[in-house]
Chains A and B, each alone.
Chain A
Amino acid sequence: MRRFIFPILLLCWAVCAFSQIIIRPLSVSSTLSNSIVAHWSLDETEGTRYDETDNNNDLTDYNTVGYATGKIGNCADFEYLNGMEYLGCDDNASLSFGPEENFCIALWWNAEASAGNMPLVAKTDGDANSNIEYRILSQSLVPKFTTGNGTNATTVKAASNFVVGTWVFVCAWYNTTTDSLYIQINDGTPNRVVATYEPHDGTDGFFLGYQKNTYYGYKLDGQMDEVSIFNRCPVSSNGFAMADSLYNGGLGWQP
């Protein structure tokens, strides 16, 4: 009897291991981690906000961005009346996307004011369409995602708005296959617009809370947390599962 125990155990182990490989797909979490090109948890209380990926897109603190309790841990707290508070870094390849590259930007935003143009994420040399590489803007609480080809720009507006005093998840992406821009709020249905003017890979700096050369006309009042950028995007074939995984039932996601 004893001589059968080891082969049986071995067989059981092999079956279990095999079934794990066949039955369990690669988890969403691991695919998120594999495609992430930048993530800022924004837990720092002052100074540099560190990128948690190997791309080292650490963000400089301009004019002392504050902190508060966030969606997960701390968050960055931008105050409108303290001059222009923002975070940023220089242009680099990991944050630049051309028309042949999928990309996705996700973050949590808790607005502290309803009016105004607030650039949550911007890689642009100004407000003109010719300048914008990509941008997520809160325009009087209406979330908008814009990409530009260096001459003109395309914008998609979200199906629902930000809410003052409430953490709202926003996920915006460009899909090369459908050649479209998408923006999703929380776990809602994403809005889509065909990218007549696709993204371009420019040399502008990357900012949270600021867009270059639009001094003081555009500045933030609110709290931001868990900003992620991926070099892949949610797809309709699996019901945009990637966006839902980042929303995570309202709990948020960290790599």
Chain B
Amino acid sequence: MATLTRLIILLFAVSSFAQTGLPSNKNRAKLIAEVIAVRDSIMKCEAVYFAKYGRYFQGIPPDTIARDISLTLKQFDRFVKPTDQAESWADFGLRDISVLATYWVDAYDGPRGHGYVMNASIAYGTDVYTLSQNVGPETWRDSNLKFIKTSIVQWSSERL
């Protein structure tokens, strides 16, 4: 029964994500399941981090460009961090995982309070799609579980 419930939840989650505008690909379902799992992980870690520091963790992308959906899994580089934050993804509590997409977290502090936006990007050839999930008062930053086709996604540490 518990297995059936989990299966129903997974099917619901996958079907809700299926209406995201992502083009079809053999890795799409795997990507969607991955995004859900990483998102849940980040949300748990952010709750702990906020309780400890009174602000949310900023996670910078571990890749220099968005990875293509056709590529195989790549180990998440958990040791990158901005120069003005002591903690890396590893310190944040993210487990050692391998992923298809590129993830990052923008943390914010605004007139309505603290929050964060988790982003996941994936390339389809020359097109890049990004999903943004907001947690906090700035609901307008949320892409409503949709991948939006974006103009440029390049996370080079060198200047363009």
Give A contacts to B, CB under 8 Å. 46-48, 50, 56, 58-64, 66, 79-84, 89-91, 113, 115-117, 126-128, 205, 213-218, 221
Contacts and interface: CB of A to CB of B under 8 A. Distances in A.
B48 interface: no
B152 A217 contact: yes
Nearest to A114: B159
A62 B107 contact: yes
Contacts of A216: 61, 152-156
B121 interface: yes
B160 to A, nearest CB: 4
29 contacts: A46-B109, A48-B111, A60-B138, A61-B109, A61-B110, A62-B108, A63-B107, A63-B108, A64-B107, A66-B84, A79-B84, A80-B159, A81-B83, A83-B60, A84-B106, A90-B140, A128-B151, A205-B141, A213-B150, A214-B152, A215-B121, A215-B152, A215-B153, A215-B155, A216-B153, A216-B154, A216-B156, A217-B152, A221-B159
Q: Which of the listed residues B107, B140, B141, B159 has the most CB atoms from chain A within 10 Å of its own CB?
A: B159
B133 interface: no
A46 B83 CA distance: 16
Given A82-B60, A83-B82, A90-B140, 9 more contacts: A47-B109, A48-B110, A60-B112, A64-B82, A81-B83, A83-B60, A117-B160, A214-B150, A215-B130
B24 interface: no
Contacts of B108: 60-63
B124 interface: no
Contacts of B58: 63-64, 83
Nearest to A131: B151
A127 B149 CA distance: 11
Interface of B: 58, 60-61, 82-85, 104, 106-112, 119, 121, 130, 138, 140-141, 148, 150-157, 159-160
Contacts of B152: 127, 214-218
Contacts of B156: 216
Contacts of B153: 215-217
B109 A60 contact: yes
B151 A127 contact: yes
Given A46-B109, A64-B84, A205 B159 contact: no
Nearest to B140: A90
Nearest to B110: A60
